Amino acid sequence: MLAPVFDDAADKVAAEFPVSGQVVMAKVDCDKEGSIATRFHITKYPTLKVFRNGQSTKREYRGQRSAEAFLSFIQKQLADPIREFADLKELKELDDTKRTVIGYFDQKDVPEYNVFRKVATGLKEDCQFVVGFGAASAQMHPQGQPIVVFRADKARSNDQDETFVGNLNAYDELNTWVTEKCVPLVREITFENAEELTEEGLPFLILFHKPDDNESVKKFKYLVTNELLSEKKSVNFLTADGVRFAHPLHHLGKSQSDLPLIAIDSFRHMYLFPDVKDMEVPGKLKSFLQDLYSGKLHREFHYGPEPVTNTPNEIEGGNKKPTTPPESTFKKLAPSKNRYTLLRDEL
């Protein structure tokens, strides 16, 4: 179904960008080219991957399946990823809800700026990139020594700009540093990125908050960074606007008046952290995660609180009434069979 649309889009893109090699639209038959499918972790058809500078980007194309939408997407990809400022005062007018990377350079035609631009092209969806040249940034760096700094979003507004101390001529070094800053440990889940996040296959530890509650978000990010860093390969740490995501709250038996609150979505069930105030008690959140891994959260939903010392008979016996934990709501935002052939279900 997508093939003729993709071909039509290729014709439109070729007409819009006639320079050879500027944009390439390509198709791969993954039945014939199994090694390519394996290399790029293809788990569903059709998968639409974007390559920049010869490397696959983390995000796939998940937009509308029309020739016009493909063309619009590519136009945006080729737009300048960096905004230039003429005066330092303009930096105070930047969107402070976004993470920002700022470059201070003497001029454009230097190798360091080429590297900076290449990094910005790959990460422009995660950070806003701005740059000043010559007199616009002269007081921010020694002459002949360009500087790149990272500025956090307003949820961490007390943080000072952090300067990159590595080699600005080394793409891998700068790209790694900027990626760590722009793709945070704790991410905001939206309806736009939910499919991408669910496809990573990790349970969600989510702070549901009111839209203007920056303080709870700040505390949650601090606690995750300082206490749960070791868990980052086992769980996705997320924040969610509790007004936009009212449906999961309803499943948990909660409403917007109960915000903020914390829950785990395992993609089978949702589990509520008993008291959000306890997240600041050392070890509480980590223990909550450990109870998920061990199956304790699921058992307690079915059989009630476990004794301090217990045996299987003690858990399953007695007059404890079986209960059912709320079903996952975020699994419904995962890749749909109506849109993809899910290969993992066919293996």
Summarize pLDDT for 219-268 with one digit per residue, the tens.
999 999 999 989 988 899 999 999 999 999 998 999 999 999 999 999 88
CA atoms within 13 A on the CB side of 218: 13
| Beta carbons of 176 and 129 less than 8 angstroms apart | no
The whole-angstrom separation of Cα 28 and Cα 276 is 48
Q: What per-residue confidence (pLDDT) applies to 38?
A: 85
The whole-angstrom separation of Cα 132 and Cα 267 is 46
3-state secondary structure of 344: helix
List all residues 6 or more positions away from 230 whose beta carbon is below 8 Å from its beta carbon. Answer: none
CA angle at 164 for the pair 163 and 165, rounded to the nearest 5°: 105
**C-alpha 132 chain-centroid distance:** 28
Q: What per-residue confidence (pLDDT) applies to 260?
A: 97
pTM summary value:
0.69
The whole-angstrom separation of Cα 133 and Cα 146 is 10
The whole-angstrom separation of Cα 330 and Cα 210 is 19
Residue ranges of domains in the chain, CATH in brackets? 3-77 (3.40.30.10), 82-182 (3.40.30.10), 186-333 (3.40.30.10)
The whole-angstrom separation of Cα 79 and Cα 308 is 60
**pLDDT values of the chain reduced to their tens digit, one per residue, 347 residues:** 999 999 999 999 999 999 998 999 999 999 899 999 888 888 889 999 998 878 787 778 888 999 999 999 999 988 899 999 999 999 999 998 899 999 999 999 999 999 999 999 889 988 999 999 999 999 999 999 999 999 988 765 557 899 999 999 999 999 999 998 998 889 999 988 898 898 888 899 999 999 999 999 999 999 999 999 899 888 999 999 999 999 999 989 999 999 999 999 998 899 999 999 999 999 999 999 999 998 888 887 766 676 655 444 443 444 444 456 788 888 888 887 777 887 754 43
Which residue spans within 191-327 are E strands per DSSP? 204-209, 236-241, 261-265, 270-272
Torsion angle defined by CA atoms of residues 252, 258, 260 and 266, in that order, rounded to the nearest 10 degrees: 0
Amino acid at 178: V
Q: What per-residue confidence (pLDDT) applies to 334?
A: 81
